[in-house]
Amino acid sequence: MPAFPPSSSSRRFVVVLNEESGTVVRLGKEAVVEAVTDAFREGGIELEMHAVKAQNLQQCLEQAVAGDADALIVGGGDGTVASAATLLAARGKTKTMAMGVLPLGTFNLAARDLGMPLDLEEAARVLTTAPVVPMDAMELNGRLYLCLMVLGFYPALKMARPEHHGWWLVRAFHTLRDSLRHAATFPKLDLALVQEDGRMLQCRTRVALITNNDYAEVFGVLPQRTSLDAGHFTVYVSTHRTRLGLLRSFFAYLLGRWKQDREVTRLQTTELEIHARRKRTLPVMMDGEVERLALPLRITLRPGALQVIAPRAAEEKPAG
């Protein structure tokens, strides 16, 4: 399994923190920078640290990727992580510069996928010892996304309403409440999903999810990814007709039984083209960021697109 050189060798990390991310705002920039710096230096890491506002984040990431550090450590939410991944791929650095994630956002789906601890200091310490492994990504309009895309009522709702901030459980409650209130009345989309072999799935839905690889049926609020490099993405299409059906589906999800829901259509593929009848554009949520995009959408899996620092890989490594 690929890994960084032994701790006795000099390793260089460049760290880019989004100082407007939730954890930095809550704890304070100085406290976060100090905690991360101390943890990395204790692990023998030569460090270059940047904490910047969101408006300067892209430029800072570009400068970091242009360098020759062993790893780019991104501190922020899932949108910040997706921006870093896209830049690494555009610069051809995905084989020479690993990417690590500090969970500073709200849901931190990418960090959770990698098996990162959610405690800041523990996460920084783990990044100094965890293995480096390949990770698939989804490409849409030239950008890489690591976790999830959503079509339908939820991204439209997010575009129309202010975003909830704060602790992820509070945000999850607001998300559930708003979803149940509006999902059953949102106009259905007539979608045509065309796979790489030409097969087409036509469906009427209020929400469709495209997940990088697949999610496991486990008890809990946030999904758990089955693999980092399974070589496909999975599409889940809701055909629920009532609010009660959606509510039953949510509780089945909490109990880890949601794949048994007969009103959820599921397919796995590596390329997908999405059309919507009588629509030229659609709101789409991609790793937490919402944009209105022109149709058709063309999503392509990029197998092993990134080298990532993943603590979960050490836990999954067979004994012996």
Q: Is residue 264 part of a domain?
A: yes
Same domain, 178 and 279: yes
- Residue 6 binned pLDDT confidence (cut-offs 50, 70, 90): very low
Same domain, 298 and 309: no
Average pLDDT, the chain: 87
Q: Are 47 and 72 in contact (CB under 8 A)?
A: no
pLDDT at position 265 is 92
**What are the Cα distances from residue 9, in Å, to 5, 39, 70?**
6, 17, 12
Same domain, 170 and 276: yes
Over 90: is that where the pLDDT of 22 sits?
Answer: no
Q: Is residue 29 part of a domain?
A: yes
pLDDT at position 5 is 46
Q: Which two tokens stand for residue 302?
A: 């990029």
Rounded CA separation 71/131 (Å)? 12
Same domain, 124 and 158: no
Over 50: is that where the pLDDT of 1 sits?
Answer: no
Q: Is residue 118 part of a domain?
A: yes
Domain count, the chain: 2
Q: Is residue 4 part of a domain?
A: no
Q: Which two tokens stand for residue 296?
A: 């058709």
Q: Is residue 1 part of a domain?
A: no
Same domain, 69 and 214: no
pLDDT at position 315 is 76
Least confident residue range of 1-15, 66-80, 185-199, 252-266: 1-15
29-42 and 120-127 are packed helices; what angle lies between their axes, rounded to 10 degrees? 30
- Residue 153 binned pLDDT confidence (cut-offs 50, 70, 90): confident
List the domain range (segments joined by +) for residue 261: 148-302
Most confident segment among 157-166, 175-184, 212-221: 212-221
Please tell me the pTM assigned to this model: 0.86
Same domain, 309 and 166: no
pLDDT at position 155 is 81
Q: Is residue 70 part of a domain?
A: yes
Same domain, 158 and 298: yes
Q: Quick one: which of 120, 97, 101 has its CA closest to 109?
A: 101
Higher pLDDT, 243 or 119: 119
Helices (H) then strands (E): counts for the chain: 10, 16
Preceding peptide of 155 cis, ω within 30°: no
Over 50: is that where the pLDDT of 7 sits?
Answer: no
Over 70: is that where the pLDDT of 306 sits?
Answer: yes
CATH of the domain at 96: 3.40.50.10330
Same domain, 117 and 86: yes
pLDDT at position 163 is 55
Q: Is residue 142 part of a domain?
A: no
Same domain, 177 and 285: yes
Higher pLDDT, 171 or 65: 65
Look-up of token digits 């100094």: 128
Q: Is residue 54 part of a domain?
A: yes
Same domain, 61 and 177: no
Share of the chain above pLDDT 90, in %: 66
Same domain, 232 and 295: yes
Share of the chain above pLDDT 70, in %: 84
Residue-wise pLDDT tens digits, 110-142: 999 999 999 999 999 999 999 999 999 999 999
Mean pLDDT across 262-271: 92
Same domain, 45 and 102: yes
- Residue 261 binned pLDDT confidence (cut-offs 50, 70, 90): confident
CATH of the domain at 234: 2.60.200.40
pLDDT at position 8 is 40
